[in-house]
Amino acid sequence: MKTTSLFGQAGRISAVAAALTATFAAAETPTLSNPLISAVLDGHYQSEDRILGREKGFGLGETELAISANIDDMFYGKITTVLEVHGSETEVELEEAFIQTLNLPAGMGIRGGRFLSDIGYLNNQHPHTDSFVERPGVYRAFLGSHYFDDGLRFNYLAPTDTYWLLGVEGFSGDSLRAADESGEREYETVGVYTAYTKIGGDIGDSSSWQLGLSYLRNENGRMSAHEEHGHEEGGHAEEEHGHEEHGHSHSAAYTGENMYGADFVFKWAPDGNYKYQHLTVSGEFFRIEDFMPLEEHHEEEGHEEEHGHEGHGKDYMQGWYLSSVYQFSPHWSAGIRYGQVDTQLMHEDHFDAQKLKETDVMLAWHNSHFSTVRLQYTRQDGTNFDGFTDDNIITLQYVMTLGAHGAHQF
C-alpha cells in the first residue's frame, strides 16, 4: 500500500497541521485515565572530552521520564523530567510542564508553562530523537544544547494549501542571561521574546520540504559594562556565562541581545514510505549580534585608535551546520554532519576571535523504533578556544525507549 508523504494536498495538510499544533496530542488519543507514560535511556562511552558536550569515559546522557494526556476536549498537558549523570553528580531537571490548547478556531494555538522553544529546526525536538550523539556546536554554544524555558506561546496556522505556521513566544530567559560578576545587575523578568515562521510542502509523493526563519530577542543577553574588566581572564565561556558554575546545566555559553536564524529540511522516501528507506538533509544558521557592553560598543572606534589594535573585533558571533542521514534498510542508517561556530572571547580590554569546526560520521543500528545503538566518529578542530585541543573522538551510544511515546515532529 502506498503511504502518503508528510504534507500532501489540502486535506492531508490540515490533518498534519492539527497534529503539529496539538504537539502529539492526537498521537494515541491519551486521556487522564489512560495517559502516555514513557522513559528514554541514553548511555554512552566516549574516548575524549567534547567541547561544551559529553565527557570522556562511561556516562549517561538525558534519561527522560514523561507523562502526557488530553486533559479534556480543550486542553492537552505534558510533563517531562530529565536526569543527567556527570561523574559523581546527578542532575534532575524539569524540562517540560505545559498545557496546550486543542481545537481553537481559525488555526490558533496557545501553550503555557515550561516548554521547548519553537525557534530553529532541532530545538523543539528532544535530543534523543537526533541522528547524532550531540547537538551541533552552534546549539551547544548559543542555546545550551536545546532551549526550554517558562513562558507563553501563540501559534497561528494559516489556511493555505502550503503548510505555513507563524508563532511568537515570551520567556523568562534565565538560561540565556549574560553573567553578572558583581551581583548587582537587575535582569528583566521577561527576558526573551521570539518570533518564527515555518513553511513546507510536498514534491510529488516521495519528497517533502520545510523552510524556517526565526528571531530571538534577549533583553538580558548583552554583557554589562562592569563585567568587561571584572576579572583577569575575561570573557571565557565558562566564567563569563556561568558555564563553569553550572557545568552541566542547559545554560548558553555565549549570548547577545539579538539572534537571527534560518533552517531547512528535505526528506525523501520511496512513495512516502519511511519504514524501509529514507533520506534527510537539513541545515541551520544562527547569528548573534550585540553582545558587547554598551559603552564599549559605542566607543569601539576611539578605543582602536587609542590602543593601536583591532579593538574588540566584530560585534557578532555565528554558527551553522549541514547534515545528511540515510536509512538504507529498516535496521541501519548512516549520516555525516559538518558544522562551524565562530565566537568572541574577551581578553583584558579586547575580544579575540574563536572558531570551532566539527565533523561527525555515524552508523546506527535500529532493532525497532524503540531502540538504537550508534557508533560515531567526531573530529573537532579549534582555533584559539581557551584550553581546547584538537581531538578525534569515538562514541558508542544507546538510546532506548520504554513505554508509549508520542509521535516525533517533521
Whole-angstrom distance, CA of residue 336 vs CA of residue 243: 28
Q: Using CA atoms in the order 173, 290, 137, 281, what is the torsion angle rounded to 10 degrees?
A: 100
Dig out the grid coordinates for 174 from the structure.
534565565
Whole-angstrom distance, CA of residue 370 vs CA of residue 44: 17
b/e string for 241-259 if b means 16 or more Cβ within 10 A?
bbbeeeebebbbbbbbbbb
pLDDT digits (tens, 9 = 90+) for 25-69: 444 467 766 788 999 999 999 988 888 888 888 888 888 999 999
pLDDT of residue 275: 83
Whole-angstrom distance, CA of residue 69 vs CA of residue 99: 10
> Is-contact 137 340, C-beta < 8 A?
yes
Instruction: Report the run of H or E that residue 53 belongs to, with start and end.
Output: none
Whole-angstrom distance, CA of residue 270 vs CA of residue 211: 22
DSSP track, 251-294:
--SS--SEEEEEEEEEEE-GGG-TTT-EEEEEEEEEEEE--S-H
> Is-contact 26 36, C-beta < 8 A?
no
pLDDT digits (tens, 9 = 90+) for 271-281: 888 888 999 99
DSSP track, 88-134:
TEEEEEEEEEEEEE-S-GGGEEEEEEEEE---SSSTTS-GGGSSSSS
Cell match 500532501: residue?
8
Closest CA to 243 of 256, 234, 230, 252: 252
pTM of this prediction? 0.84
Cell match 544558521: residue?
285
> Is-contact 221 193, C-beta < 8 A?
no
> Is-contact 296 303, C-beta < 8 A?
yes
DSSP E strand boundaries for 161-206: 163-171, 192-203
Closest CA to 112 of 143, 78, 144: 78
Task: Locate the domains of the chain by residue range.
Answer: 10-403
pLDDT of residue 181: 67
Q: Domain 10-403 is of which CATH architecture?
A: Beta Barrel (2.40)
Helices (H), 89-188: 137-142
Burial tier of 189 (Cβ tally within 10 Å: 0-12, 13-18, 19+): exposed
b/e string for 206-227 if b means 16 or more Cβ within 10 A?
bbbbbebebebebbbbbbbeeb
Dig out the grid coordinates for 191 from the structure.
527576558
Whole-angstrom distance, CA of residue 406 vs CA of residue 68: 9
pLDDT of residue 48: 87
Dig out the grid coordinates for 5 from the structure.
508523504
pLDDT of residue 345: 77
Please name the residues in contact with 143: beta carbons below 8 A apart, sequence gap of 6 or more.
Answer: 120, 123, 252
> Is-contact 341 138, C-beta < 8 A?
yes
Which residue numbers in the chain have pLDDT < 70? 1-29, 32-33, 86-87, 181-183, 224-249, 294-313, 348, 383-387, 405-408
